[in-house]
Amino acid sequence: MKRITACFLLMLLAACSTSTTPEGCPVITTPRENTRQYINNGSYDAFQITLSGNENYCYTDSSNNQRYAVITPIFKIRRLEDSPDNSVDVAFYVKTFGKGNYINERIFHQSLRISDGKIEQTVTGKTIKVRVASPPYDDFSLEMGLKLSDYAGAKAKSMFDIDYKYLSEQDLAAMAEPEEKTLEIAPDETVVYCPTKNQPVVVKKNNKSNPCN
C-alpha cells in the first residue's frame, strides 16, 4: 500500500513540474518615445517616470510545452516639484512580433513609490510573464514601453531632450544673487555701458570712437 501511494505521489509531481532553468530570451526593444512619462499633479508636472531597462529570463513549462519570458521592469522616478505625494501609477505594454509582423499586446498596470526625501530613485517593478516562441528567435522579438495617451506621448517626445532638475530654495537663492565684477579704472579712463555687449566697458576719456565696436 505504501509503495502504491509513493508511486501515485511521484506521478502527480511529475505531471505538475515545470522547467524553471533560466534560458536565453528573444531581444526586447523599447522605442525612445515610449520610455518617458510626466505625471501631472493639478497644474504642474510632479514626477518624471523613465522606463530605464529590465531584467529577464525565459523558460519552458513542461506541463504544456509552452515557453515564457519572465520580465522585471526597472523604472527611474524623479521629483519635479516638492510634492507630498510618494506614489504614482503607470501602465506599460509588451508586444510580440513574429517575422516582423505584430502578433499580440498585453498591458500591465503598476504602482511605483519613491521614498520620502528622495529627489530621484530607481524602482524595480513587479515581475510579469508573457508567452514567447521557442528558440531560435531569428523571426521573433518583443517590444516593451510605457503605455501613453496621445497627449502624454506627444509631450514626452517634445520634452525628451529637456532635463528637469529639482531646485531647492538654497539653489534658487544662489541663482538670484547677482555676479559682482570689479573694474580697474585709471585716472584718464571712464566706464560706459555698451548695449550691444550688454555689459560696462572701460574707455579712455578722450576716446571719440564707438566703444561698442
What pLDDT shows up at residue 78? 92
Backbone angles phi, psi at 109, to 5 degrees: -115, 135
**Through-space distance between the first and last CA atoms of the chain, rounded to whole angstroms:** 108
Q: How big is the chain, counted in residues?
A: 213
Mean pLDDT computed over every residue of the chain: 79
How confident is the model at residue 122, as a pLDDT? 95
Which three cell numbers, joined as nine digits, stand for 44? 504642474
The grid coordinates of residue 146 equal 510605457
Rounded Cα distance, 92 and 142, in Å: 13
Q: Give the pLDDT band (50/70/90) at residue 184.
A: confident
For 156: left if phi > 0, alpha if psi spans -120 to 50, otherwise beta; the answer is alpha
- Environment class of residue 98 by beta-carbon count within 10 Å: exposed (0-12), middle (13-18) or buried (19+)? middle
pLDDT tens figures, 120-133: 999 999 999 999 99
> At residue 94, what are phi and psi to the nearest 5 degrees?
-130, 120
Q: How far apart, in whole angstroms, are the C-alpha atoms of residue 68 and residue 132?
A: 5
More confident residue, 163 or 156: 156
pLDDT confidence bin for 3, thresholds 50/70/90? very low
- Per DSSP bridges, beta strands 101-113 and 87-98 are antiparallel
Q: What is the pLDDT of residue 9?
A: 32
For residues 41-64, average pLDDT:
90
pTM over 0.85: no
